[in-house]
Structure formats: C-alpha cells, structure tokens
Structure 1
C-alpha cells in the first residue's frame, strides 16, 4: 500500500507477523514497522535499526501500524536509542498508537526517546 509519503509501507499479512521496511528520506533512515513486536519478531526490528548506514545515524521508526509491543520491543528501541546517541546520532519514534503507545508510556520510554504524532513531524523535528 502506498500512503503518499516518501517510501512505501506494507501492512503485516497475518496477525502476529511483523513487517519491517527501511527507506531513506533526506538522509534520514525511516524504518516502517507493521504488526506485532514481541520476543518472536523483535530480531528483525533490531537488525533494521542496527544497519543505519550513515554517520551520524539518524533514524525515525514509523510505528503507526504497530498493533502490539511487549518488553522485547521496548528493549530493542532503547538499545538502538543508546547506540545512535553514542554515535552522535538520534532515534525518533513516529505515530505510536494503541497498545504500542501504552507500552512506551508505561515504562516511560516516551520521555527518553523523542515521540511524534506523525512521520512528517519526526522527520522535521
């Protein structure tokens, strides 16, 4: 499904399945995630966030299609945030909703990592 933004996003094909797609917009890596982020699926997200390709790494994780996230996803995001910050880069989150947003708020990660309502806001912050 093309959504009018730079790059392309896809919805998860099956419940529980994770789709991760990376594109670049103005030198910023955009990692679009759809589906559930949990113990069984978080390695794919970890790999996408690890391969930033640019220094300093500047990454936005577009989460508007994430339907669930447990502590495994929280740990992956926190580790990526620390890695990118240490390399004088940054990690921002865009569009977390529902259960994913609640998980971020519950552990306070939304106060550590910059969270934005939309991808455009995260790219231009």
Structure 2
C-alpha cells in the first residue's frame, strides 16, 4: 500500500472476502495508516467479515483506522 508521491492519498481496502487475519495483516494496516496520515491522506477498511472485524476490535484497530460496514459506505466521503 505505497502511495508515496500521491497528494492526499486515500486507500479503501475491501475485506469482504478475508476470512483470516493475523498480526502480519494488522501491522500492514497500522504502517499504512501512519504513512498515509503523514501524507495527509487516509485508509479505510471496508466490509470486514465477522471474524476479521472481531480481531480488529480486540486489538483496537477499529479505534484507529476507519472501518465501514460496506464498501459503498467506505467509498463515500
């Protein structure tokens, strides 16, 4: 998720087909959040499955990165 050189980069990640995530995925999202925020942009996570949403909530990622219930919601401003 490299958006270097992009002014105010915005990334929406569709998680609707992700059934498992571990610390590697969490760390990628946190690193992307940091770099995108520093560049004046953002990352949104869209449509996480129940298992993935539960993990995001347990580790607190949902409090740091904007998580939306649907892809449509994530794409809206």
TM-score, structure 2 as length reference: 0.91
Runs of 4+ in 1 over 2 A off after TM superposition: 51-54
Corresponding position of 1:62: 14
Question: Is the CA contact 2:3–2:9 (under 8 Å) kept in the aligned structure 1?
Answer: no
Is the strand fraction higher in 1 or 2? 1
Rg (Cα) greater in structure: 1
State whether structure 2 residue 61 is matched by structure 1 residue 102.
Answer: no
Q: 5+ residue gaps in structure 1? A: 1-48
What does 1:66-85 correspond to in 2, within 5 Å?
Answer: 66-85=18-37
Per chain length, whose mean CA-contact separation is higher, i.e. which structure has more relative contact order (CA < 8 Å, sep 6+)?
2
Q: TM-score of the superposition, structure 1-length normalised?
A: 0.58
Query: What's the C-alpha RMSD, in Å, of the aligned pairs?
Result: 1.4
For the residue of structure 2 that corresponds to 1:68, the secondary structure is: coil
* C-alpha contact (below 8 Å) 2:10/2:36 kept by paired residues: yes
